[in-house]
Amino acid sequence: MTAMFLLNYILLGFALCTGSPIVSQLSSYVDRPCGKDPKHLWLDIVAVVDNSKEMTDDGVLSIAGELSSLFSHAEQLGIDPNQPRTTRIGLVTYNEEATVVADLNNITTADELSNTLFAALTWTSSVEHSYLQTGLKAADDLLAKQSFNTSRGHYQKLVIVYASEYRVSGTQDPLPLATRMKTYLTIATVAYRQDIVVGFNDALTKIASPGYNFTNFNGNNVVSELKTTMIQVNCYCPNEWFQMRSSSKYGVCIRPFATMATRTAARLSCRNQWNNAYMLNEFTQMKHDFVLQVIGNITTFTQPYYIGLSYSNGNWQWDQPNGQPLIPLEHWNNWSPGYPTASSTDTAVINVNTSWQNTNPSLSNMYICEVAACDSANYCAAENI
C-alpha cells in the first residue's frame, strides 16, 4: 500500500466528515432531468374536443386558441424523413357522435393547424348533449390505424380531452374504454365549462392518466400545464428499464441484472445493453431509495450488487457513458460503518443491505445499469427500444 493511497483516504475522510467535496462539479452532480426542448418533442397526439351546446361558442373558440398556442413552438409537424423528432396532431370533435376533423397525416405546419382548429372550433354544434366515449373511441381507432404498428409505433401517444360534461348512458360509459387506453397511451383531460357541476371534475379525473387532469377554472394556465404534460409524456424508458421519478419523471432509466459478474464484466455488460448505458450512479438518498424499491419487487435479484462507484485516479468516482469523464464522489455518501476500508485491492463498491462497502472487483455480484431516458433531447430509434 502506497503512502499516496493512504493520503487519498485521509483526504476522502476529511471531505466526507466536513461535507466538502474534493472536486466541485455541482453542475454535473445531478441526475439527468427530462429533455425540455418543446421544439423537438416527438409524439403522436389526438385532441378530442367536446363541441356540444354545453361547451358554448366562446368555449370552443377559446380551445382553438389554446391548441394553436400549444403547438406554435413546434419546429416540425407531421413526418420529416430527415428529422425523426417531429410531432403529429389529429383533431376529433364529439357530441352525441364523433367526427375526425383531421387525421394524423393531415396537418404538417403550424399555420395548417391553426386554420383547421379555427375552422372546426368557431361555433358549437346544435346537439345539446355529448358522450365522451364516442370521442375516445374515435381517437383510439385513429391511433390504432396511423400510429401503432407503423414506423412511429415507438412514439409516445397522448390524447388531450376537452370536455364540458360527463354523461353516461349504458354502453356510452367512457371509463372502461379510458381504463383500457391508459395501458398503452396517456390521457390528459381539461374540464372546460363556465359553471361548476357537482361531481363533473371528479368524474373526468378518473378518465385522465394520474396527474394529468386539468381545469380551466379560476384562470388556470391550461397551455402551460399541457406543455409540461407533453414534455413528461415524451420522456420514457426503453422496455425492461425503470424510470426514476419523484413528483415527476427524471430523464434516468435503471435496470437491475440478476446475473453474477465481476466488476469489469458488469461494466462491459452495461456498455453493451442499450444506447451507451453505464453502471448505476447514486448521487442522492432519493435515488438510492428508488433503486431499493425497484429491486425489492424483483424476486430473482439479490444483494450485494455492484454500483458505478469505484476507486480510480486517486479518488472515488462514478461511472459515466463512453467518452465522458468520471464524476468524483461528492456531498452525499452511504458508506457502511468502517467503510471505505484502506485497501489497495478493494476498489469496487457494492450495496450491502442498505449501504455501501468497498470490495475486490474480481468478486462476482449482481449489478445495476443506468441510461438516459428517451426524450426531446435524446431520440430513440425503434430498433433500440
Same domain for 47 and 77, yes or no, is yes
How far apart are the C-alpha atoms of 192 and 132, rounded to whole Å?
13
Residue 267 has pLDDT above 60, yes or no: yes
Which of the listed residues 233, 265, 286 is the one where a domain comes to its end?
233
Number of domains present in the structure of the chain: 2
Same domain for 257 and 199, yes or no, is no
Same domain for 52 and 192, yes or no, is yes
Same domain for 301 and 195, yes or no, is no
Decide which of 55 and 23 is more confident. 55
Same domain for 174 and 281, yes or no, is no
Please indicate, yes or no, if residue 167 is contained in any of the structural domains: yes
How far apart are the C-alpha atoms of 287 and 307, rounded to whole Å?
12
Please indicate, yes or no, if residue 108 is contained in any of the structural domains: yes
Q: How many Cβ atoms are within 10 Å of 297's Cβ, its own excluded?
A: 9
Residue 286 has pLDDT above 50, yes or no: yes
Q: What is the pLDDT of residues 118-170, one digit of tens each?
A: 999 999 999 998 999 999 999 999 999 999 999 999 999 999 999 998 888 77
Please indicate, yes or no, if residue 220 is contained in any of the structural domains: yes
Which of the listed residues 199, 233, 267 is the one where a domain comes to its end?
233
Q: Which of 2-16, 181-195, 294-308 has the lowest mean pLDDT?
A: 2-16
User: What CATH number does residue 228 fall under?
Assistant: 3.40.50.410
What is the reported pLDDT for 258? 97
What is the reported pLDDT for 274? 81
Residue 255 has pLDDT above 60, yes or no: yes
- Nearest Cα neighbor of 319 from 264, 261, 250 is 264
Which of the listed residues 191, 217, 233 is the one where a domain comes to its end?
233
Please indicate, yes or no, if residue 146 is contained in any of the structural domains: yes
- Nearest Cα neighbor of 31 from 352, 286, 358 is 286
Same domain for 215 and 259, yes or no, is no
Please indicate, yes or no, if residue 371 is contained in any of the structural domains: yes
Same domain for 61 and 28, yes or no, is no
Q: What is the pLDDT of residues 364-380, one digit of tens each?
A: 999 999 999 999 999 99
Residue 120 cell numbers, joined: 372546426
Residue 9 has pLDDT above 70, yes or no: no
Hey, what amino acid is at 63?
Answer: I
Q: Over the Cα atoms of the chain, what is R_g?
A: 25
Please indicate, yes or no, if residue 4 is contained in any of the structural domains: no
Hey, what amino acid is at 119?
Answer: A
Q: What is the pLDDT of residues 158-185, one digit of tens each?
A: 999 999 988 887 788 999 999 999 999 9
Which structural domain range is residue 142 located in? 42-233
DSSP E strands, the chain = 43-50, 88-94, 98-102, 156-163, 186-191, 213-215, 242-245, 249-261, 278-279, 305-312, 315-318, 327-328, 348-352, 355-359, 365-372
How far apart are the C-alpha atoms of 151 and 84, rounded to whole Å?
10
What is the reported pLDDT for 13? 42
How far apart are the C-alpha atoms of 83 and 276, rounded to whole Å?
21
Q: What is the pLDDT of residues 59-109, one digit of tens each?
A: 999 999 999 999 987 778 999 888 999 999 999 999 999 999 999 999 999
What is the reported pLDDT for 17? 37
Residue 372 cell numbers, joined: 438516459
Same domain for 183 and 204, yes or no, is yes
Same domain for 93 and 197, yes or no, is yes
How far apart are the C-alpha atoms of 376 and 38, rounded to whole Å?
7
Same domain for 194 and 84, yes or no, is yes
How far apart are the C-alpha atoms of 207 and 187, rounded to whole Å?
7
Please indicate, yes or no, if residue 15 is contained in any of the structural domains: no
Same domain for 180 and 47, yes or no, is yes
Strand partners, 351: 305, 356
Same domain for 263 and 348, yes or no, is yes
Please indicate, yes or no, if residue 324 is contained in any of the structural domains: yes
User: What CATH number does residue 375 fall under?
Assistant: 3.10.100.10
Hey, what amino acid is at 290?
Answer: F
- Mean residue pLDDT of the chain comes to 89
